[in-house]
Amino acid sequence: MTDSGFRLKGSVVTTVLLEIQTFSLDGIVFHLKEKIDQVPHFFNQAPIIVDISKMKRGVTVGEFEALIQSVSALGLGVIGWRCDPDNLPVWSASVTIPLLPASKTRPINIAPTVKEESSPDVVVKTVVEERLVPQSTKVITKPIRSGQQVYAEGDLIVLAQVSAGAEVLADGNIHVYGALRGRALAGVKGDVEARIFCKSMEAELVSIAGNFMLSDALQNIVWKDSAQVLLVDDSLEIVPL
């Protein structure tokens, strides 16, 4: 399943949650596209849930259908929608997209959340579905080539390089005993204590519990040197080793 630009196996399912607070189709599309452009591979073909439960006014069926078409045109797959169960629109039974129950999953930010005073239209989050599974450590001894995705339910240890265009993901920590040139996402189920360690920091993207940093920022901190990535007060820190 390539739901967020990378392959997820086992117990982790990453979904984009589109929370609409004020309905402005142009504004919603603009800010959604802005976030997609930040990390296009992260959003590529991602399943998305449209949540209108926090809207300050009702939405018409025409507005809703136009929104679904616009979101789909951005390369996202709408798998359902949510609404305040005590305030269902009269047209709710007529749409073909399934109405989903309230989420029991934990939302995590994949980027700084849009503040209402600057963009009240939309908040984009990822939702990670959590299930109780045994934690384990996965060890990879061969280089991870471009286009490959590797996921570990516990810690992930890579004894070689991670090439540009490759992705490594782990519920726990990620250790790369070589050059990290692709994307590394640790704590994908929301573990804020997770860390990323690498022998040579050359990453396209690093992420801890959904908080990410791109290569442009990394090059100004630590580049082509050993480093660790950790989360401190909801902000990523890159520390030389």
Please give the helix or strand (H or E) that residue 13 lies within, else none: strand 13-20
Q: Which residue has the higher pLDDT, 223 or 90?
A: 223
Domains (ranges, CATH) in the chain? 13-129 (3.30.70.260), 138-240 (2.160.20.70)
pTM of the model: 0.50
Reading the block at residue 177, the tokens are: 């005993």
- Digit-coded pLDDT (tens) for 190-212: 888 999 999 999 999 998 988 88
pLDDT of residue 105: 42
pLDDT of residue 200: 96
Band of residue 7 on the pLDDT scale cut at 50, 70, 90: very low
pLDDT of residue 114: 36
User: What value does the mean pLDDT take over residues 92-119?
Assistant: 55
pLDDT at 139 over 90: yes
**CA dihedral defined by 33, 35, 39, 41, rounded to 10 degrees?**
-50
pLDDT of residue 47: 72
Residue 69: how many other CB atoms lie within 10 Å:
11
By percentage, how much of the chain surpasses pLDDT 90? Answer: 28
Q: Are 136 and 154 in contact (CB under 8 A)?
A: yes
pLDDT of residue 44: 65
For 137, phi and psi rounded to 5 degrees? -105, 130
Instruction: Quote the mean pLDDT of the chain.
Output: 77
Distance CA 148, CA 235 (A): 28
pLDDT at 1 over 80: no
pLDDT of residue 4: 29
Distance CA 83, CA 102 (A): 8
Lowest mean pLDDT segment, chosen from 70-79, 109-118, 121-130, 165-174:
109-118
Distance CA 143, CA 135 (A): 23
- Digit-coded pLDDT (tens) for 10-65: 333 456 778 888 888 888 888 888 877 776 666 666 677 888 888 777 788 898 89
Q: Count Cα atoms within 13 angstroms, Cβ side, for 24.
A: 11
